[in-house]
Amino acid sequence: MQPIFYFDFGSPNAYLAHRVLPRIELQTGSRFRYVPVLLGGLFKLTGNQAPMLAFANVPAKLAYERREMERFISRNGITKFRMNPFFPVNTLQLMRGAVAAESDGLLTPYVEAMFHFMWEDPRKLDDPTVFSQSLSDAGLPAERLIAHSQMPEVKDRLAANTQAAFGNGVFGIPSFMVDDELYFGKDRLGEVERELAVQGMIDRVADASTGNAAGQ
């Protein structure tokens, strides 16, 4: 089963995970399926909160989270990350755009562009004019994607993605599913990689056994 990456562009940790996933894919031979969800919707469904709210009265916890992010960035050689000065950004339009881009076969370049303009060349992407200009700057069909993102089926699909993620136990972003196992947070990527590596070995053994049986 293809591993899943549940993401929302408003999460800096989702961006950091996105930058590490290509290495994991290369090492394990797996390909992640990117599934856009609405983080705000997950918060409503689960009662969860962003760390800046949940730990507002625990400054040591927030300081630790910042330091942990710095260590992750250094450990993985991520050089382009910039904290978005407009954070937090309302990502409803962005995530509907991701669903529209997916149905138009443009999810990969759309994801790359929006993560770039959120966390590398930070822009206020919940401003409709800025969002449209950013799509154009990335060489994407801005008018078409924006129009498509307002279609009822796109809105319904984003809501369904979010509900399905909630049904799988997802309560925050980034989250990953490997078969039926949920892994939350960029700090679980090592476990995700190990599980995918084990699955890859099992698949290779099974393929070899099938080949040997066929040759007998």
pLDDT band at 159 (very low <50, low <70, confident <90, very high): very high
Say whether pLDDT at 74 is over 70. Answer: yes
Helices (H), 104-216: 107-119, 128-137, 142-149, 152-167, 189-215
Element (H, E) at 33: strand 33-36
- Greater confidence (27 vs 49) lies with 27
Which pLDDT tens digit goes with each residue over 75-116?
A: 999 999 999 999 999 999 999 999 999 999 999 999 999 999
Q: How far apart are CA 148 and CA 153, in angstroms?
A: 9
Condensed to tens digits (0 to 9), the pLDDT of residues 168-215 reads 999 999 999 999 999 999 999 999 999 999 987 555 544 544 455 455
Question: Which residues share a beta bridge with 98?
Answer: none
What's the structural domain count of the chain? 1
The answer to which of 41-45, 50-54, 76-80 has the lowest mean pLDDT is 50-54
pTM comes to 0.91
Residue 207's domain comprises: 4-215
> 40: domain CATH number?
3.40.30.10
C-alpha–C-alpha distance, residues 144 and 131, integer Å: 13
Alpha carbon distance 140, 153 (integer Å)? 21
> Closest by alpha carbon to 142, among 108, 101, 201, 180?
101
Q: What is the pLDDT of residue 11?
A: 97
